A and B are shown apart, each in its own frame.
Chain A
Amino acid sequence: MGAVGITMPAASSALAPEGRQPAAVGPWRLALRRLRRNYVALFFLAVLVVIVLLCLLAPVYSAHVAGTGPNTNNITGTVSVNGTQQDIVSLSGVPIGPTWGSHYLLGADTNGRDLAVRLLYGGRTSLLIGAVATVIIMILGTLVGLLAGYFRGVVDFILRPLMELIWSFPVVILGVALGTALALGGIGPIKGNSLYIPAVIIGVVYIPYVGKPIRGEVLRLREQDFIDAARVQGMGSWRIMFSELLPNVSSTVIVFLPLILANSILLEAYLSFLGAGVQAPKASWGTLISDGLSFIQSTPTYSLIPGAMLVLTVLSVNVVGDGVRDALDPRAQVRVRG
């Protein structure tokens, strides 16, 4: 029995007299109910799902609509727009803007590649890196926070300065320095142009943002009676950490998850913009914005459409995250009404 102080719903429903009162509702289900009433958050959740589905369907679009791959060059080709043939890339090197037809829907890039295809494939890259980085950050950040907060002493003495060190570097500069360094050399078996390199870098850079608050919370929780009770029952340190403390910090972890996802996607775009993230010929929203910047005057859609996709994605994640936080926070109602 390791349920002291963690799972109230089981205990309270056991106490409730049969048939007299409605079954007790746990905090998670209450949170879910609050989230279901938050229509703004639900709308942006739907937007997010649509974006993810579109990006997952990139190969279908590429093969059956656009008829060209994400890395297929076509510098000298032409495309018919309203019945006239136009150069995909003009003689002076300026790519064509949106045609709003099935071929080159959103225009081309400097190599004559279909921008719409690259936008979808780039989205897969951005989302994949964001997701992998988020998983790394949440697992390692939570682990570091639990270890440092629970053991204190020597473990805390080692982990805390490490977090401070990462924390005091500006995120972009640390990320870019690591990215440039690793893009050339790779890490062990992972090649320099692998997508996992930016993911790992972002993972390292954001660990303190999760690790520090969780450490603080664990420091507070470990002094409470239910931990003493667990210790008296003879539970080991690891079991206390994972079956007693972890469930109690889980709402913090869940609140951080969307925030970290949004920031990971943003940082990937930063790194790629500065040439230290996704390496050519692969595309991500960050590299597309960066490529298009030189044509901001002649073909602004080149930069601004990938930019709009990026902002819409991050915005959706942020709004959904706010909804989740409001739903989990017991004071959420107080906050909204002031």
Chain B
Amino acid sequence: MAGFIARRLASAVLLLFATSVVVFAIFEVIPSYNPARAIAGREATAVTVAQITQKFGFDKPFYVQYFNTMKLIFTGQIIDYQDNLNVVSQFVHRFPVTLSLVVPAAVIWMLVAIVLGSISALRAGGWLDRGLTVAAVTGVSIPVFLLSATLLYLFAFRLPWFPNTGYVQFGSNPAQWAYHLVLPWLAIAVLFIGFYSRVLRSNALDIVNQDFVRTARAKGLTGRQVFIRHVLRNSLMPIVTLFGLDFATLLGGAALVTEAVFNLPGIGQYEANAIGQLDVPPIMVGAMFTAFFVVLFSALSDVVYALLDPRIRISS
């Protein structure tokens, strides 16, 4: 187990390093990209730009710039070029908003996907299954930003049931917090409900035909017991891995489109703005932040996997 954790840690550090180098390199190769001009503002003189270039070290070689940027990130002193805000404190400040968006959405999509996927599998081939399959494929085919826009139009403008945009802190008013987040939660959850319920359905149908299910039935368990204890438990295992990855990227800011449409001040919105302005520090921190969660949750899901299934040998 210790070796497993050590190897996981080593690969995590390596991956974070590689991620940051790649992001940095992407922006380094742009010929027309000049961060000094972005910092100096629109009406800067050539002298000011030269001074800023000197001060920030944009004239230095690639590896020196990279090293300096990383040092600033890890000492928490990195600022974005557009508004001169401290990037790390922006992330810390905005992370609760992203958490409020992603965590309840994840709970919704897991619960609904498990229920719908199970119904589909139990009624496989029937009309209910066909209807749910069509709904699931439709859900997977709608891009999140379009679904967000449609929900906004239907349930905030056409039928003014929900507020159109904005965010209320959980601490100040939990009811308003949830009221403002219902549409964004739905917008994120639909895609994953469609995807996960399909995966669950096909896993369950594969497992139903296996010997241990017949054994369970033969020893006299009821249909419900067989399904919940044997079929469902085993069908959930591949979903654990999927969930880890999806949840991690969403925490890292992949919900940026939803945050942009609903005007939620989370890290995704910050990243989206930074991307539009080619503001390197927030993009770098965002990518590393995401990579961190991806590594963390893929390690966690490996552990959960090993706990759930004794056949899996970690040492292999």
Asked if residues A310 and B146 are in contact (CB atoms below 8 Å), the reply is: yes
Q: Which of B26, B124, B152, B253 contacts A336 (CB 8 A)?
A: B124
Is B252 an interface position by the 8 A CB rule?
A: yes
A68 vs chain B, min Cβ distance (A): 26
Asked if residues B275 and A176 are in contact (CB atoms below 8 Å), the reply is: yes
A17 to B191, CA, bound (A): 53
CB within 8 Å of B: which of A279-338? 286, 289-290, 293, 296-297, 300, 303-304, 307, 310-311, 314-315, 318-319, 322, 334-338
Asked if residues A314 and B146 are in contact (CB atoms below 8 Å), the reply is: no
A314 to B139, CA, bound (A): 11
Chain A residues whose CB sits within 8 angstroms of the CB of B294 once the complex forms: 168
Is B76 an interface position by the 8 A CB rule?
A: no
Asked if residues B26 and A173 are in contact (CB atoms below 8 Å), the reply is: no
Q: Write out, one digit per residue, whether chain B residues 244-258 have a CB within 8 A of any chain A CB (1) or not (0).
A: 000001001110110
Asked if residues A322 and B137 are in contact (CB atoms below 8 Å), the reply is: yes
Q: Which of B124, B137, B141, B143 contacts A338 (CB 8 A)?
A: B124
A150 to B271, CA, bound (A): 40
Q: Which of A173, A262, A334, A338 contacts B121 (CB 8 A)?
A: A338
A55 to B294, CA, bound (A): 39
Is A248 an interface position by the 8 A CB rule?
A: no
B309 vs chain A, min Cβ distance (A): 18
**What's the dominant secondary structure at chain A's contact region?**
helix
Is B287 an interface position by the 8 A CB rule?
A: yes
Q: With CB as the reference atom, state the residue of chain A lying closest to B271.
A: A173
A161 to B152, CA, bound (A): 41
Asked if residues A303 and B149 are in contact (CB atoms below 8 Å), the reply is: yes
Q: With CB as the reference atom, state the residue of chain B lying closest to A266.
A: B143
A114 to B232, CA, bound (A): 52
A174 vs chain B, min Cβ distance (A): 8
Is A221 an interface position by the 8 A CB rule?
A: no
Is A11 an interface position by the 8 A CB rule?
A: no
Interface residues on B, range: 35 or more
B27 vs chain A, min Cβ distance (A): 6
A319 to B130, CA, bound (A): 12
Is B47 an interface position by the 8 A CB rule?
A: no
Chain B residues whose CB sits within 8 angstroms of the CB of A174 once the complex forms: 287
Chain A residues whose CB sits within 8 angstroms of the CB of B208 once the complex forms: 338
Asked if residues A274 and B257 are in contact (CB atoms below 8 Å), the reply is: yes
Chain B residues whose CB sits within 8 angstroms of the CB of A304 once the complex forms: 149-150, 153
A318 to B143, CA, bound (A): 13
Chain A residues whose CB sits within 8 angstroms of the CB of B92 once the complex forms: none
Asked if residues A177 and B272 are in contact (CB atoms below 8 Å), the reply is: no
A164 to B19, CA, bound (A): 10
A322 vs chain B, min Cβ distance (A): 7
Chain B residues whose CB sits within 8 angstroms of the CB of A176 once the complex forms: 275
Asked if residues A180 and B278 are in contact (CB atoms below 8 Å), the reply is: yes
B84 vs chain A, min Cβ distance (A): 21
- Of B125, B137, B140, B153, the most chain A CB neighbours within 10 A belong to B137
Asked if residues A164 and B145 are in contact (CB atoms below 8 Å), the reply is: no
Asked if residues A289 and B19 are in contact (CB atoms below 8 Å), the reply is: no
Q: Which of A161, A165, A262 contacts B141 (CB 8 A)?
A: A262
B241 vs chain A, min Cβ distance (A): 12
Q: Of the listed stretches B28-36, B60-68, B182-190, B217-225, name the one at the interface; the rest are far from the partner chain.
A: B28-36
Asked if residues A181 and B30 are in contact (CB atoms below 8 Å), the reply is: yes
B81 vs chain A, min Cβ distance (A): 14
Asked if residues B137 and A315 are in contact (CB atoms below 8 Å), the reply is: yes
Q: 6 A-B pairs, CB-CB below 8 angstroms?
A: A169-B19, A169-B287, A173-B290, A318-B140, A335-B205, A338-B125
Given contacts A177-B26, A177-B27, A273-B145, 12 further A-B contacts (CB under 8 A): A172-B254, A180-B275, A181-B29, A184-B278, A297-B157, A304-B149, A307-B150, A311-B138, A311-B146, A314-B141, A319-B137, A335-B205
User: Which 7 residue pairs of A and B lie closest in terms of their CB atoms, listed nearest first?
Assistant: A338-B124, A170-B249, A314-B141, A315-B141, A307-B146, A170-B254, A185-B30
